[in-house]
Amino acid sequence: MRTYYQLPEPAAGHYVCYPDLVGRYNDFPQHNERRAAGAITAYNLHIVCSGSGYVMKEGQRVSLKAGEGFLYPRGAYQHYGTDPEQPWDVRWIHFMVPMELLLLRAADASSVWLFAVSQASLARFVELTEEMYMLCGSFETRHEPRMSALLYELLAELAHNSERLEHDALPLITKNAIREAADLIRGTSGQAWTLPEMAALCGYSPYYFLRLFRQVMGRTPQQYLTACRIAAAKSLLVATRLPVSEIASRTGFSQSSYFIRVFRKAENVSPKAYREMYS
């Protein structure tokens, strides 16, 4: 079975991303693609839902199974196909991005980005593409914003909940462990936290936790904790009339003078001035 939809060029040209072609190949053992560099000016995303196939990367044949996929950057040489003995059920999207999108940084830096997703993310990918197919079946111009939003959510899901297939990639289970620890720290940011206590949430040494946390969250645990405390303080400043000293205490700052100094550094205004701006 081959599902193939060519979308018209969007009437509005301001979308962050927009699909050009959307489709699905299932039980199609002849599926094999080889395209010269520059033949396709769109990004090319495929994810395998069942069966198996392959993609060629730097002269090496890489096998793909359910939950794995690839993303070609614009203009890349492309060579991929199904396993004729176990034809893949693969969902794919060719899409345009008129501006730099940080979500695509991994693909832009590679000849082809290979990834794997969890079962939950794969199920979400199927849901999003099913809605795309439904909209494409009776497409109207008013569907353009939704098509763009579906694609953006899909890309965000991949960026957040995928892991590279390369051997040196950080496993998704490790990323999720760090994210779960970050969520717990954020939810209890008003209490005192030490680096060893944070590391114990994952069972890692403080040094290893610090390195992983910076890699996954983009900042150190202490920087993250401070940002969470500042965010909680901002909410209290606007939503309540609590004294600044009380807000400092509730959000994990031992001294109001230190809280004011940290808040001013983060927001370029004092807590009092912030309250006056938004109250």
Which domains are present in the chain? Answer: 2-164 (2.60.120.280), 170-279 (1.10.10.60)
Determine the pLDDT at residue 167: 64
Burial of 118 per CB tally in 10 Å (0-12, 13-18, 19+): middle
Give residue 166's pLDDT.
74
| Interval 42-68: pLDDT, tens | 999 999 999 999 999 989 999 999 999
pLDDT tens, position by position, 210-245: 999 999 999 999 999 999 999 999 999 999 999 999
How far apart, in whole angstroms, are the C-alpha atoms of residue 196 and residue 199?
5
The pLDDT, as a whole number, for residue 253 is 95
Question: What's the distance, Cα to Cα, between the start and end of the chain in Å?
Answer: 59
- Which residues sit opposite 79 in a β-bridge? 34
pLDDT at 263 over 70: yes
pTM over 0.85: no
Count of CB atoms within 10 A of residue 224's CB?
20
**Is the predicted pLDDT of residue 168 greater than 80, yes or no?**
no
Ranges 87-96, 121-130, 169-178: which has the least confidence: 169-178
- Report percent pLDDT > 70 for the chain: 99
Q: Which long-range contacts (CB under 8 A, 24 or more apart) does 132-137 make?
A: 132/5, 132/19, 132/22, 132/93, 133/3, 133/5, 133/22, 133/24, 136/5, 136/7, 136/22, 137/5
Residue 12: pLDDT above 80? no
Structure tokens at 77: 């040489």
In this predicted structure, the answer to whether residue 163 has a pLDDT above a threshold of 90 is no
Q: Output the pLDDT for position 76.
A: 95
Q: Which residues have a Cβ under 8 Å from the Cβ of 166 and sit 6 or more positions away?
A: 114
Mean pLDDT of 119-128: 95
Residues 6+ apart with CB under 8 A from 237: 244, 247, 271, 274, 275, 278, 279
Instruction: Answer yes or no: is pLDDT of 1 > 90.
Output: no
**Any idea which of 22-36, 82-96, 102-116, 226-240 has the lowest mean pLDDT?**
102-116
Give the separation between CA 93 and CA 145, rounded to whole angstroms.
17
- Average pLDDT rounded to a whole number, residues 16-26: 96
- Pair 88, 82: CB distance under 8 Å: yes
The pair of structure tokens assigned to 204 is 């890692």
Q: Which H, E and C letters describe 39-96, residue by residue? A: CCCCEEEEEEEECEEEEEECCEEEEEECCEEEEECCCCCEEEEEECCECCEEEEEEEE
Give the tens place of pLDDT for each residue, 175-202.
889 999 999 999 999 999 999 999 999 9
Mean per-residue pLDDT for 111-128? 94
**CA 96 – CA 8 distance, rounded (Å):** 12
Contact call for residues 165 and 114 (beta carbons, < 8 A): yes
Secondary structure (3-state) at 20: strand
Task: Please tell me the predicted confidence (pLDDT) of residue 61.
Answer: 94
Given pLDDT bands bounded at 50, 70 and 90, which one contains residue 160?
confident
Rounded to 5 degrees, φ, ψ at 70 are -150, 155
Please report the pLDDT score of residue 52 as a whole number: 97
Average pLDDT over residues 67-78: 96
Q: What pLDDT score does 43 carry?
A: 97
pLDDT score for 106? 82
